[in-house]
């Protein structure tokens, strides 16, 4: 591994020798394994290995980047990159790279994930759990994805770090009838906390409950969001906290720092915790990751920054580089006071939504959007699920939805799956929001 670090250092040194003002290089050796399954059988097992060094450099406020594969043609690539910088245009908002010598948390990646050769037994476990819920007629599909990355970062401005990142994610969808399905996920940074049967069981349980759905009715509802659907929305709000999106007005949080943007009970954090599938030690400038409270008791507390956006906003980096655009790592919503069953008991007549996809905005500045709930959609009466429904669309406003949150559960789940619009995972509770618009096709 020290050889990789030395080669990465040499790339940075080369950039400096060629006249760059600052250079950062990040070498990742990634090992990825995936099993895709459908109709209760494995469709394909896939492996891909990547050996990549991402290099970015600044020269007189010009900022350029490239990739070097497996340390091939390094000198030529660096010469071309510096040449590109010299014909590029000055970016007055470029604020350089973070400077300093930082200490990082010790990597806690699970080497058992690295050594995975063919984890089909986890798929079988999930399939069987779904079958136990639904019976032999169940039709199950999904994806198991394992990732292990060794990362070495070297910056001419001081930061030098080594990281190892691991994650395992299982996404399971079960059908009990053609139009009755449920979805469960299991996401973890290590195998010891990974329980594939839990995802299969949830998918099967919801699929069974979703049988014989009736056409839902348009109207305004109290809605209980499952952690899976709310986690998807958390990622969307998290992305909008990136200073980059605020600068281009593609955020509901533009000009709202210090203002009320959500109910008092809402606190959202970007927290790159060790349990998360997005665990890592430093950002793309080499700044140690930190916890940032985006919304504190309903008030917009901070945007997410890299060094450049921080200078524009006259603040400090929050450790969220993205060299061009600040990124979120892992959005957590603070737990509330209700148990899951207490939250359901708050609802006289409402809906329980378990999953969604295809979230699209009319206008990112105002937040008008719609999203399509899928898998179980349930009518809730006096705290109980009384009917499975179908063909409803949540059509409301992202800022208004934050303000309509009336209850949050104590229980939370770490979630991410293919249908998230943002790649950011979340730690999401069950959430009750009042008076939310649902529409249907005519």
Partner 1 sequence: MDKDLVDFSLEYARKKGAEYAEARANTTKREELVVKNGTLDAYVSSVDSGFCVRVLLDGGIGFASSNRWSKEEAKAVVETAVKFAKAAKRRERISFADETGVEAQWHVEEKQKIDDIQSESKIDEVMTIEKELTAQKIKIPGRILSCQTALIDKYFVNSEGSRIRSYLPRIAAYALITVVENGKPEQAFKMFGHSSGWEAFQEWKMADVLLHEAKMLQRLIKEGKPVKPGKMDLVCGTEVTGIAAHESCGHPIEADRILGREMSQAGRSFIYQGGPFWVGTRIGNDMVTIVDDPTVKNSYGYYEYDDEGIKARPRYLYKNGRIDEFLHNRETAAKLDTRSNGSSRSINYNREAIVRMANTFLQPGGWSEEEIIEDVKQGVYMKSFTEWNIDDRRFNQRYVGREAYLVENGELKHPIAKPIIETTTKTWWSSVDAISKEVGYDAATCGKGDPMQGMPVYTGGPVIRLREVYVK
Task: Give residues 397-426 in contact with partner 1 (rule: CB under 8 A).
Answer: 418-419
Query: Is residue 36 a contact residue for partner 1 (CB under 8 A)?
Result: yes
What token pair was written down for 146? 């394992």
- Closest separation in Å from C-beta 117 to partner 1: 7
Using CB under 8 A as the binding criterion, the count of chain residues that bind partner 1 stands at 81
The residue among 339 and 363 lying less far from partner 1, judged by its C-beta, is 363
User: Which of 212, 274, 341, 363 forms a contact with partner 1 (CB under 8 A)?
Assistant: 363
Residue 441: which of 237, 217, 195, 189 has the closest Cα? 217
How far apart are alpha carbons 386 and 9 in whole angstroms?
A: 63
User: Which of 6, 17, 43, 135 forms a contact with partner 1 (CB under 8 A)?
Assistant: 43
Residue 58: which of 120, 103, 9, 12 has the closest Cα? 12
Query: Is residue 364 a contact residue for partner 1 (CB under 8 A)?
Result: yes
Residues 121-180 that bind partner 1 (CB under 8 A): 139, 141-143, 171-173, 175, 178
Q: Supply angle C-alpha 292, 296, 302, rounded to 5.
A: 45
| 115 contacts: CB under 8 Å, gap ≥ 6 | none
Among 129-137, 275-283, 332-340, 370-378, the segment contacting partner 1 (CB under 8 A): 370-378
- Closest separation in Å from C-beta 21 to partner 1: 15
User: Which of 12, 18, 23, 81 forms a contact with partner 1 (CB under 8 A)?
Assistant: 81
Query: Is residue 49 a contact residue for partner 1 (CB under 8 A)?
Result: yes
User: Which of 369, 376, 388, 409 forms a contact with partner 1 (CB under 8 A)?
Assistant: 369
The residue among 104 and 361 lying less far from partner 1, judged by its C-beta, is 361
Query: Is residue 39 a contact residue for partner 1 (CB under 8 A)?
Result: yes
DSSP 114-178: HT-S--HHHHHHHHHHHHHHH-TT-EEEEEEEEEEEEEEEEETTS-EEEEEEEEEEEEEEEEEET
Residue 77: CB atoms within 10 A of its CB come to 18
Query: Is residue 3 a contact residue for partner 1 (CB under 8 A)?
Result: no
The separation between CA 117 and the C-alpha centre of its own chain, rounded to angstroms, equals 26
Helix, strand and coil content of the chain, in percent to the nearest 5, comes to 25, 40, 35
The residue among 70 and 193 lying less far from partner 1, judged by its C-beta, is 70
Query: Is residue 354 a contact residue for partner 1 (CB under 8 A)?
Result: no
- Closest separation in Å from C-beta 78 to partner 1: 12
Residues 293-352 that bind partner 1 (CB under 8 A): 323-324
How far apart are alpha carbons 401 and 412 in whole angstroms?
A: 19
User: Which of 17, 19, 60, 67 forms a contact with partner 1 (CB under 8 A)?
Assistant: 67
Question: Phi/psi at 41 (nearest 5 deg)?
Answer: -135, 155
Residue 165: which of 304, 28, 325 has the closest Cα? 28
The residue among 174 and 347 lying less far from partner 1, judged by its C-beta, is 174
The residue among 29 and 225 lying less far from partner 1, judged by its C-beta, is 29
Q: Exposed e or buried b for every residue in 327-349, given b needs 16+ CB within 10 A? A: bbbbbbbbebebeeebbbebbee
Query: Is residue 235 a contact residue for partner 1 (CB under 8 A)?
Result: no
The residue among 72 and 274 lying less far from partner 1, judged by its C-beta, is 72
The residue among 363 and 387 lying less far from partner 1, judged by its C-beta, is 363
The residue among 263 and 317 lying less far from partner 1, judged by its C-beta, is 317
What token pair was written down for 112? 């058992």
Q: Is 390 helix (H, G, I), strand (E, B) or coil?
A: strand
Quick check: 139 and 131 in contact, CB under 8 A?
A: no
């Amino acid at each position: 591994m020290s050889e990789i670090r030395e080669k990465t250092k040499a790339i940075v040194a080369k950039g400096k020798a060629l006249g760059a003002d600052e250079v950062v290089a990040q070498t990742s050796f990634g090992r990825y394994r995936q099993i895709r399954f459908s109709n209760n059988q494995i469709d394909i097992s896939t492996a891909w290995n990547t050996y990549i060094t991402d290099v970015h450099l600044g020269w007189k406020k010009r900022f350029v980047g490239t990739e070097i594969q497996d340390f091939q043609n390094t000198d030529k690539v660096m010469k071309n990159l510096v040449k590109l910088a010299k014909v590029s245009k000055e970016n007055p908002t470029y604020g350089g790279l973070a400077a300093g010598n930082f200490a990082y948390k010790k990597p806690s990646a699970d080497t058992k994930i690295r050594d995975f050769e063919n984890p089909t037994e986890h798929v079988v476990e999930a399939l069987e759990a779904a079958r136990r819920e639904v019976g032999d007629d169940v039709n199950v599909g999904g994806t198991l994805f394992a990732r292990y990355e060794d990362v070495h970062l070297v910056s001419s401005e001081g930061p030098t770090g080594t990281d190892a990142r691991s994650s395992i994610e299982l996404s399971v969808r079960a059908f009990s009838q053609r139009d009755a399905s449920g979805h469960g996920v299991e996401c973890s940074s290590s195998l010891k906390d990974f329980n594939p049967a839990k995802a299969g069981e949830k998918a099967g349980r919801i699929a069974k409950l979703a049988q014989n759905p009736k056409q839902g009715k348009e109207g305004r509802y109290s809605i209980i969001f499952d952690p899976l659907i709310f986690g998807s929305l958390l990622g969307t709000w998290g992305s909008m906290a990136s200073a980059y999106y605020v600068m281009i007005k593609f955020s509901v949080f533009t000009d709202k720092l210090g203002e009320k943007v959500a109910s008092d009970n809402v606190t959202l954090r970007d927290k790159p915790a060790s349990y998360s599938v997005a665990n890592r030690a430093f950002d793309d400038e080499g700044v140690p990751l930190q916890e940032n409270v985006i919304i504190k008791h309903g008030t917009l507390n901070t945007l997410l920054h890299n060094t450049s956006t921080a200078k524009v906003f006259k603040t400090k980096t929050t450790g969220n580089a993205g060299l061009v655009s600040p990124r979120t790592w892992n959005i957590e919503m603070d737990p509330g006071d209700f148990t899951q069953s207490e939250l359901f008991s708050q609802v006289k007549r409402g809906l329980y939504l378990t999953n969604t996809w295809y979230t699209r905005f009319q206008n990112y500045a105002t937040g008008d959007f719609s999203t399509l709930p899928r898998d179980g959609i349930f009518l809730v009466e006096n705290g109980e699920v009384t009917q499975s429904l179908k063909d409803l669309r949540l059509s409301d406003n992202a800022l208004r939805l934050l303000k309509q949150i009336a209850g949050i559960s104590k229980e939370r789940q770490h979630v991410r799956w293919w249908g998230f619009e943002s790649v950011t995972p979340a730690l999401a509770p069950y959430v009750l929001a009042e008076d939310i618009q649902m529409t249907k096709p005519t």
